[in-house]
A and B are shown apart, each in its own frame.
Chain A
Amino acid sequence: MQTLVLVPGLLCDERLWSHQTRYLGDVAHCLVPDAGTANSISGLAESVLAQAPPKFALAGLSMGGIIAHAIMALAPERVERLALISTTARADTAEQTSRRQRLIEMTEQGRFAEVTPLLVPALLHPTRQDDAMLTGQLLSMATRIGPATFLRHVHAIIGRPDRRVQLAAYAVPTLVLVGREDAITTLEMHEEMAQAIPHARLAVIEECGHISTLERPHAVTALMRLWLTG
């Protein structure tokens, strides 16, 4: 059976993929790698590669997608399928970097606990921002990741290169998946990837923000099932 490597996003752990690991077990062996301790995207990619089997299907959400792009640069021959979820191929803009710098400063001032509540309005669809159980899950994952790992990951994200030049070389079945109301990585960024990647299929989930695997788990799992078995 194929192995599906599921790479979480910033401040997330394996719970980000809980629906997928629970319901895709009949078509793939699911593996959620450790976040890793590197402070560069290529370092994080190498950490994922070290935990993965020789060949695998690869899915990444947000920072996980950014790591997936790095894996496609480092070891494309090991990736049999690719799912890019709520992510981008672009580098940070100056404005994005400056927003991240503010989060870094807060964390260095000992205010890490305030980071996730600050991010929630951008992470979730407006109709889910009052869902205390869902926001509780985000808080709980962030607490487990902790400030030290968070800082390394944010530095890695800030320093990432623009990957758009390499998209045309992706030669595997690729799912590009986005929530219609994703406020962080927009539909436009996903259209751009889907147009540039030769075997890409773009899927848009309605009434969904950035954290699609938790916000619309059934839809994401169904689309990933088609991608894994198609």
Chain B
Amino acid sequence: MKFGIFYEHQLPRPWAADSEYQLFQDSLTQIELADRLGYHYAWEVEHHFLEEYSHSPSPEVFLGAASQRTKNIRLGHGIVQLTTNHPARVAEKIATLDLLSNGRVELGLGEGASVTELHPFNLRFRDKRLVWEDAVRCTLPMFWNHGWEYHGPFYDFPLRAIIPKPKQKPHPPLWVACSQLDTIKYAAHRGMGALCFKFVDLAAARAWVNAYYHSFLDDQEKLTDYATNPNIAVVAGFMCCETDEEAWRKADGWTFFQFALQLYNKEGPFKPGSVSIWEKYEAWKTTPEGQARSGSELIGSPATIRARLRELAASHVDQVILLNQAGKNKHEDICASLELFAREVMPKFVADEPAHQQWKDAVLRREIVLDHIDTDPFNTRSRLKLSQPPSAEVRDMIAGAVGRPRSSTID
């Protein structure tokens, strides 16, 4: 098993004058520490306009800085929004980062999360999957063809020399963002790694892993001639302390991650500065749903976390992405947690990696046939209750921005 850390650049209110500065500097320090401690991946999201939830619209700039302060850790775009970036700019930026980092880029590909971030780029929510697929076909061959042109339904790109080329050949490993669990099968269908940003119950992990490989082997249909990347990474809430109580106290706001994204998806867009997402989160946290623990969090003592990781390892998940920078988790606590986990928990699971790789190769060669397990019982979509639908005023604001009739329904 491999371990990653995850950066959304969450910044709950209230803010001080240098909050964003401090957030970015602390994150770089944490990634530098993680690199020294032997963590394998640092993942950075791309989101636009989602205040408090994610102040990370330019991951390639941030990862470029991280590349110069680290030696071994893989630098993951978790993800690049193919819908809001021009294909040639994606190919150029990724290749540049791959050269700067000596071939350490992992390339997650995403669609963008909500109308809040899609509409300003003249994209309809309902088109995002089709645009994403067209962008994959247009963008990826730029990594291995010197000259490339593409003529598809959404992108029309004339013949140009695409430079530079990435250090990794033919391109960095590819992943798909899975914000819903059933996207795991879609990632396999496209021959890419699954980056699961929705929390996977321990009980469900085996079902999803098996479903992934069944789709990868028997339903694979790549969009163009990229290299496949059979891999499953799952995000988990994380804080490792001497005792369970201390860990839960220090990771008190970790579910802000899921809450804020769902809020933007269902109630956004908000007028800039009109809503304190953190205050809404604190109110939600007093509800039974907000109090619930799944039992899958990697929050607790080394012994507690080890027991849960053993279950994930038995399911043959490839990577666990530790959601360390979440809510109002403090920099000092994050660093101490990374150190304790690296010392007390990580070595045993990393040592099992060669055996896991052997298992995976045998599955891919069809020497091991996995059980079919029904994933439907585990396919829980978010159940966050809407407080109220977006107001007519907010709908007009957005409709005007994308040139649609005012007060029409926004998808």
Please give the residue numbers on chain A whose beta carbons come within 8 Å of chain B beta carbons, in ascending order: 127-128, 131-133, 135-136, 139-140, 206-207, 215-219
Contacts and interface: CB of A to CB of B under 8 A. Distances in A.
B169 A127 contact: yes
Contacts of B146: 206
B306 interface: no
Contacts of A131: 227-228
B356 interface: no
Interface stretch (B30-38, B105-113, B217-225, B287-295): B217-225
B340 interface: no
Contacts of A219: 225
Contacts of B227: 127-128, 131
B144 A207 contact: yes
B365 interface: yes
B365 A217 contact: no
A32 B339 CA distance: 59
Interface in B123-169: 144-146, 169
Contact of A140 (B144, B228, B366): B366
B217 A218 contact: no
Interface in B195-247: 216-217, 222, 224-225, 227-228, 230
Given A127-B170, A132-B360, A133-B228, 15 more contacts: A128-B227, A131-B227, A132-B361, A132-B364, A132-B365, A133-B365, A136-B364, A136-B365, A136-B366, A140-B366, A206-B144, A206-B145, A206-B146, A217-B222, A218-B222
A104 B154 CA distance: 53
A96 to B, nearest CB: 28
Nearest to A131: B228
A133 B216 contact: yes
Interface of B: 144-146, 169-170, 216-217, 222, 224-225, 227-228, 230, 360-361, 364-367
A216 B365 contact: no
A207 B168 CA distance: 12
Contacts of A127: 169-170, 227
Nearest to B222: A218
B169 A207 contact: yes
A218 B228 contact: no
A162 B160 CA distance: 41
A139 B367 CA distance: 11
Contact of A133 (B145, B224, B225, B364): B364
Contact of A135 (B145, B230, B365): B365
Contact of B225 (A135, A136, A139, A216): A216
Name the prevailing secondary structure of the A interface residues.
Answer: helix
A136 B146 CA distance: 31
Nearest to A219: B225
A63 to B, nearest CB: 23
A206 B148 CA distance: 12
Given A127-B170, A139-B365, A217 B360 contact: no
A206 B171 CA distance: 13
A217 B169 contact: no
Contacts of A140: 366
A226 to B, nearest CB: 14
Contacts of B169: 127, 207
Looking at B216, B222, B227, B228, which has the most chain A CB atoms within 10 Å of its CB? B227
A139 B228 CA distance: 18
A136 B360 CA distance: 12
B132 to A, nearest CB: 17
A128 B145 CA distance: 17
Contacts of B217: 133
29 contacts: A127-B169, A127-B170, A131-B227, A131-B228, A132-B230, A132-B360, A132-B361, A132-B364, A132-B365, A133-B216, A133-B228, A133-B230, A133-B364, A133-B365, A135-B365, A136-B364, A136-B367, A139-B365, A140-B366, A206-B144, A206-B146, A207-B144, A207-B169, A215-B225, A217-B222, A218-B222, A218-B224, A218-B225, A219-B225
Contacts of B360: 132
6 tightest A-B contacts by CB? A136-B365, A132-B364, A132-B361, A133-B364, A216-B225, A207-B144
A107 to B, nearest CB: 21
B406 to A, nearest CB: 44
A132 B228 CA distance: 10
A133 B1 CA distance: 20
Nearest to B230: A133
A218 B295 CA distance: 44
Contacts of A135: 365
B353 to A, nearest CB: 15
